[in-house]
Structure 1
Amino acid sequence: MFRLHVTHDYESKVVERWIRRGMKCFPAMMEISNSANARLYGLPHLGSTSYRLRRLHLVNINLDNSFPRKLSYGCPVLEDLKLDRCFLDPPEISSSTLKNLIVTGCTTHSGHVLTITAPALLFLLTW
């Protein structure tokens, strides 16, 4: 398990380096939360280090256009995804292995609707 809670306003490259370093241990669960009000951090490229990742919990993270690809190809055994107060651009979640999805308080560009492609999904909660 890898857990990172960012409480201060650090440069993005510093936080991304911490995430990449934690992922080098090939965790089955990762939780990244950000309570620094000044900055939204992104999820760096994880490469092959996320192949064991089964559970992913993100709080107040900026998920850019590479996020759907990171889920589909970078997390081949991901089963549980929880997004809390994240910014989704584009608002898209795609995974062939995802079973449980919780999306709470997330935002998108106005007018865009969240699109979910998850054929194995058993549980969905959004609000």
Structure 2
Amino acid sequence: MTFIIFLWVGRAAPDMSVYSFLRLFRLFRLTRMARMLRLLRAFPELMVLIKGVITAVRSVSFTLCLLASVIYVFAVTLTQVTSGSDFGETYFRNVPDSAFSLLVHATLPDLSHFIVEAMDEHVAYCAILM
């Protein structure tokens, strides 16, 4: 965002009207932050929730990294083991397809057909559903 503003200001005329517009933009951002601080002071329970979410982000990120590592190891293994079989050609053709099959069929078994159809239509649909 800062780089875009720098390019925009760099192409502008050297008059000070552009800088006053940027000051106004900065003032709007500052008032928005002040409103958020006022809201947090009015509702201390909201601050407790925000602190809890910040604390949980680290644990959740490590759990997701561990899950991705386990899925990758099993995707490589199952791609090698099932090569040449009909089952392997259906679910484990290559490592990305294997990882997708493991993730979808293991975590969302009831919705797996729906998600596979969405994946066939467009990757973004699958990402939104996951």
Q: Same fold (TM over 0.5)?
A: no
Q: What range is the shorter-chain TM-score in?
A: under 0.3
Which protein has greater RCO, CA pairs closer than 8 Å, 6+ apart? 1
TM-score (normalised: structure 2): 0.23
TM-score (normalised: structure 1): 0.23
Which is helix-richer, 1 or 2?
Answer: 2
Larger radius of gyration: 2
Which is strand-richer, 1 or 2?
Answer: 1
